[in-house]
Amino acid sequence: MLIGAHVSPAGGLPHAIERGVERGCRSIQIFNQSPRMWRPTAYSPEDVAAFRAAMSASPIDAVLIHAVYLINCASDDPEIADKSLTSLVHSLTVGEAIGAAGVVLHPGSAKTGDVGDAIARAGAVIGEALARTGGCPLQLENTAGAGGTLGRSFAELAALLDAAGRDDRLGCCLDSCHLLASGYDIRTAEGLTVTLDEFDRAVGLDRLRSLHLNDSAQPLGSNRDRHANLGNGELGERGCAVFLSEPRFEDLPLVLETPGPKGSGPTAEEVALARRLRTRGRAARRRVAAR
């Protein structure tokens, strides 16, 4: 498991690698532009080369790009849909340039409209973005379910993949906070097993490409997306240890997106805590297996 954190690329792409190394990361996630603005950041060939050189010289094995929050591939507003397509194409283009393991995308929102129609619109935009770009994978993130967001269930994720054409580049990113908030009880090894079995039936484990680890400030089934620091939410240290030690998550990038102690994101201490919780969770699983 490649445990890491979301970090800032402020000051230039190579600084994201530096911040990841400072935090003891094996993987990092970045925004390729300001997450709440449509204006793209233009990266030169020199920027890309410097990033690749910095990553090659570091212990970081995977980088993810998180697409901007403004994107709504399911929008029935032609202007928003067009801006979403343009932004997603840009993210995938940057991802291919820097050798990203994937672009993580919130698929969109139906708001108060028909969910089936929204999924069809989202699939069309996603499929077009893939057609316009090269080899960078795209990973649809499960959502907490508030405000008509798509991807709150594995059935919706499967429908989105179908609507987008199930290209080989398409996969999923599972977020622990969103899983709990949308009603999947993953606080125990047994509960996580049931959840992943359901994901496998609906989507296929071969489509699982990355993970977000966040504790949840809101309870099971709340449909509220409120991240908490590890151990300080409804999952608790035990639930986080269960998630970190799941055998079917081996070799995947796992990124912390927690608020951090000062509201400025995950710290080296929290990344180290995640590693300790993984060790604790694996030991607990061995004790159960030995009984």
Q: Choose the catalytic residue: 215, 246, 257, 270.
A: 257
69 labelled catalytic: yes
Q: Choose the catalytic residue: 6, 26, 178, 207.
A: 178
Q: Choose the catalytic residue: 6, 19, 187, 212.
A: 212
Q: Choose the catalytic residue: 19, 26, 106, 187.
A: 106
18 labelled catalytic: no
Q: Choose the catalytic residue: 141, 234, 246, 270.
A: 141
Q: Choose the catalytic residue: 47, 175, 246, 270.
A: 175
Which 3-state string (H, E, C) describes the chain? CEEEEECCCCCCHHHHHHHHHHCCCCEEEEECCCCCCCCCCCCCHHHHHHHHHHHHCCCCCEEEEECCCCCCCCCCCHHHHHHHHHHHHHHHHHHHHHCCCEEEECCCECCCCCHHHHHHHHHHHHHHHHHCCCCCCEEEECCCCHHHECCCCHHHHHHHHHHCCCCCCEEEEEEHHHHHHCCCCCCCHHHHHHHHHHHHHHCCHHHEEEEEECEECCCCCCCCCCEECCCCCCCHHHHHHHHHCCHHHCCCEEEECCCCCCCCCCCHHHHHHHHHHHHHHHHHHHHHHHC
156 labelled catalytic: no
175 labelled catalytic: yes
Q: Choose the catalytic residue: 66, 187, 207, 278.
A: 66
90 labelled catalytic: no
Q: Choose the catalytic residue: 6, 23, 227, 278.
A: 227
Q: Choose the catalytic residue: 47, 156, 215, 225.
A: 225
141 labelled catalytic: yes
6 labelled catalytic: no
Q: Choose the catalytic residue: 22, 69, 269, 286.
A: 69
Please list the active-site residues.
36, 66, 69, 106, 141, 175, 178, 212, 225, 227, 257
